Amino acid sequence: MKEILRDTVTKITTLLQSNEASLLQGSADAERVRIQREEASYRQDMTKLDKDLCDLELKVEELRNNVINRRLRVNMSDVENMALILSRSSKTVADLKAKFPILQDGLKGLISAEMEKAFCNEKFLKEEPDKLESALRRCKKLTGTLVTLKRYVSATRLASVQEQRVPPNAPGGGPIVGVANGDPRATSPTPAEDVRASSAKVCVVTHPTGPTPTLTPVPKTAVTHTNKPKSHPPLSRKRTPTSL
């Protein structure tokens, strides 16, 4: 349930971020389009103004040559038309001069945004490979740590299971049999055990050639004796002389 809620929250957050980015991107694109339209209009007006001024300059120069060189009369209507064209051109220049600072600021902002975007893209392309390598090294390190922890947990669990399977031993090194039943033979050694114990005994033999005693094991036959009663020779009965 928690996983489902976490996935839902992640999806909603991603959707909101994408919508916000789309809105910001849409506003940035709208601003860019507006500035581009103003720039296109300015360029169009400037091109028309330049063409009108060029035509007016040609007409004025031609009229001046006719007056100076050919001594021709000047038609007043032509002069007034030229003055009207010049007036419109002057007004266009004034309008363009007023529009240019606004267009200049917009273009500077657009260029700055484009440069920042280009810088971010360049930085991304430069730093992303190093980030990927670092992330790969971290993943490998975490993988090794998790494998080590897994082995440790498995070994600990196996040792615990083995300890539970092995029965506890008595303090004397072996289980005591017969004590719980009150059998006195369980604590008293048997004759065979006496023989085995006596076989491990040694005696000290001192040689006359040196003071160092040597340890000589006692043979089994020397200690396997039984407590038999000593036999005494039969008592001879003293005969008394009989009377004749």
Domains and CATH numbers, the chain: 2-160 (1.20.58.1540)
Of the candidates 62, 50, 56, the one whose C-alpha atom is nearest the C-alpha of residue 84 is 56
Bridge partners (DSSP) of residue 216 are: 203
Measured CA to CA, the distance from residue 38 to residue 44 in angstroms comes to: 10
In the chain the beta strands, taken as DSSP E runs, fall at 202-205, 214-217
In whole angstroms, give the CA distance from residue 65 to residue 72.
Answer: 9
3-state helix, strand, coil in the chain (%, to 5): 70, 5, 25
Give the pair of three-digit tokens for residue 226: 């039984």
Asked whether 186 and 201 are in contact (CB, 8 A), the reply is no
Q: Quick one: pLDDT band at residue 164, thresholds 50, 70, 90? A: confident
| 13-72 per-position pLDDT tens digit | 777 666 655 555 567 788 888 888 999 999 999 999 999 999 999 989 988 888 888 777
Residue 212 banded pLDDT, cuts 50, 70, 90: very low
Confidence of residue 231 (pLDDT cuts 50, 70, 90): low
Give percent above pLDDT 70 in the chain.
62
Q: Among residues 109, 118, 112, which one has the least CA distance to residue 34?
A: 109
The CA–CA distances, whole Å, from 142 to 130, 131, 135, 148, 151 equal: 18, 16, 11, 10, 14
Average pLDDT over every residue of 159-169 = 75
CA 21, CA 121: separation in Å to the nearest integer? 17
pTM value surpassing 0.75: no
Are 69 and 63 in contact by the 8 Å Cβ rule? The answer is no
Cα separation, 171 vs 173, in Å, equals: 6
Please tell me the predicted confidence (pLDDT) of residue 168: 59
